[in-house]
């Protein structure tokens, strides 16, 4: 079978199984199997696939039809232009989180501290800590996650980006997992924020393949903002800031939680699709 025939048949197969953007998905899978950039496929439409290549592709296409995310099948994704390994151990980094990443980079660069220290709360694959450490040397990053498999994946990613010296990983429940006495200039978090009762209605790819601990934000989805707004205070240096992603429709409630906990300069930022997505909040600077 040729490249063009395989693309056609597999696209029809995924379409019948209700997979979104089926042709794109097939092209990305085929590019992965043939180790070719997707656009190169257009230059070799008549190439005949070897039996082994066809077998590998068939297996991947069937798994995709069963709604396994493309990124799990390929084993990686791109986050802010960096390759991040992914697996069922941790949430697949999302494009909207790139907004959080870029805002935090700008804030970290704007600090007057010589070597700023930042915390990534709920690091998952480690994508945010990796981006911040790479973009803001000599900043020191701490990253915490409750999930041991997620933290193992983060460790692999941190090492692959050559950042093991400047990114410290901690296993456990939020601030309770951190060594006493640590203080941060900035905290970044993309916490779980889906209301527990809405998880069953999510897209199959998310519901069945992202870890529940990465999604479940409690009854109203706001559990982690309550914790961040109150518990962060003791871990921040005077004048320190916090950037956190939130879900659709949570803007007012999240901003109100930070306001009630005495934070100042509270701003909400939109993601690239124009939706309110990130809250920024700061502590009072030290009094002279
Ligand atoms: C929405 S995911 C974000 C992952 C990654 N930061 C990203 O943006 O792609 C939230 C992460 O928080 C972690 N988490 C959940 N509860 C936690 C807790 N109590 N303490 C630390 N991490 C927690 C989950 O295991 C998950 O990896």
pLDDT of residue 287: 75
> Which among 66, 98, 119 is the end of a domain?
66
Residue whose CB lies within 8 A of the most ligand 1 atoms, among 214, 217, 232, 243, for a mutation test: 214
Residue nearest to atom 13 of ligand 1 (CA): 122
Task: Tell me if 218 is assigned to some domain.
Answer: yes
Q: By mean pLDDT, which of 39-43, 192-196, 249-253 is the weakest?
A: 39-43
Three-class secondary structure assignment of the chain: CEHHHHHHHHHHHHHHCCCCCHHHHHHHHHHHHHCCCHHHHHHCCCCECCHHHHHHHHHHHHHHHCCCCHHHHHCEEEECCEEEECCCCCCCCCCCHHHHHHHHHHHHHHCCCCCCEEEEECCCCCHHHHHHHHHCCCCEEEEEECCHHHHHHHHHHHHHCCCCCCEEEEECCHHHHCCCCCCEEEEEECCCCECHHHHHHCCHHHHCCCCHHHCECCCCCCHHHHHHHHHHHHHEEEEEEEEEECCCCCHHHHHHHHHHCCCEEEEEEECCCCCEEEEEEECCCCCC
**Does one domain contain both 96 and 59?**
no
Full-model pTM: 0.96
Greater model confidence, 45 or 187: 187
| C-alpha of residue 124 to centroid of ligand 1, in Å | 5
* % pLDDT > 70, the chain: 100
| C-alpha of residue 156 to centroid of ligand 1, in Å | 17
**Does one domain contain both 90 and 40?**
no
Q: By mean pLDDT, which of 40-49, 72-81, 139-148, 258-267 is the weakest?
A: 40-49
**Does one domain contain both 116 and 257?**
yes
Question: Residue 210 belongs to what domain range?
Answer: 77-282
pLDDT digits (tens, 9 = 90+) for 94-125: 999 999 999 999 999 999 888 999 999 999 99
Q: What is the mean pLDDT of the chain?
A: 97
* % pLDDT > 90, the chain: 95
pLDDT of residue 208: 97
Task: Tell me if 72 is assigned to some domain.
Answer: no
pLDDT digits (tens, 9 = 90+) for 142-185: 999 999 999 999 999 999 999 999 999 999 999 999 999 999 99
Give residue 267's pLDDT band: very low, low, confident or very high (50, 70, 90).
Answer: very high
**Does one domain contain both 221 and 81?**
yes
**Does one domain contain both 134 and 29?**
no
pLDDT of residue 145: 98
**Does one domain contain both 141 and 215?**
yes
Does position 280 have pLDDT exceeding 80, yes or no? Answer: yes
Task: Tell me if 120 is assigned to some domain.
Answer: yes
**Does one domain contain both 48 and 121?**
no
Task: Tell me if 278 is assigned to some domain.
Answer: yes
> Which among 20, 40, 66 is the end of a domain?
66
Greater model confidence, 129 or 38: 129
pLDDT of residue 114: 85
Nearest atom of ligand 1 to the alpha carbon of 97: 8
**Does one domain contain both 122 and 250?**
yes
Residues with CB under 6 A from ligand 1: 90-91, 93, 97, 122-125, 127-128, 144-147, 150, 173-174, 190-192, 213-214
> Which among 34, 66, 98 is the end of a domain?
66
Work out the average pLDDT over 33-40.
93
């Amino acid at each position: 079978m040729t490249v063009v025939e395989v693309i056609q048949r597999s696209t029809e197969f995924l379409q019948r199984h209700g997979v979104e953007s089926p042709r794109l998905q097939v092209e990305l899978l085929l590019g992965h199997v043939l180790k070719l950039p997707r656009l190169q496929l257009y230059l070799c439409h008549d190439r005949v696939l070897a039996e082994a290549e066809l077998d590998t592709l068939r297996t991947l296409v069937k798994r995709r039809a069963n709604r396994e995310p493309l990124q799990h099948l390929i084993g990686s994704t791109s986050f802010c232009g960096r390759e991040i390994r992914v697996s069922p151990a941790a949430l697949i980094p999302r494009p909207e989180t790139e907004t959080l990443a870029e805002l935090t980079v700008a804030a970290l660069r704007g600090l007057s501290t010589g070597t700023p220290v930042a915390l990534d709360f709920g690091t998952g694959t480690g994508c945010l800590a990796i981006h911040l450490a790479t973009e803001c040397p000599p900043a020191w990053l701490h990253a915490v996650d409750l999930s041991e498999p997620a933290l193992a994946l983060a460790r692999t990613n941190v090492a692959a980006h050559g950042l093991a010296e400047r990114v410290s990983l901690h296993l456990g429940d939020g601030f309770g997992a951190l060594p006493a006495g640590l203080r941060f200039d900035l905290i970044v978090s993309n916490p779980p924020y889906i209301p527990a009762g809405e998880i069953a209605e999510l897209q199959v790819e998310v519901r069945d393949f992202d870890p529940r601990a990465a999604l479940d934000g409690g009854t109203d989805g706001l559990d982690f903002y309550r914790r961040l707004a109150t518990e962060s205070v003791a871990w921040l240096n005077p004048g320190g800031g916090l950037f956190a992603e939130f879900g659709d429709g949570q803007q007012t409630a999240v901003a109100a939680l930070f306001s009630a906990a005495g934070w100042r300069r509270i701003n909400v930022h939109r993601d690239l699709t124009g939706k309110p997505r990130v809250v920024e909040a700061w502590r009072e600077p030290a009094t002279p």
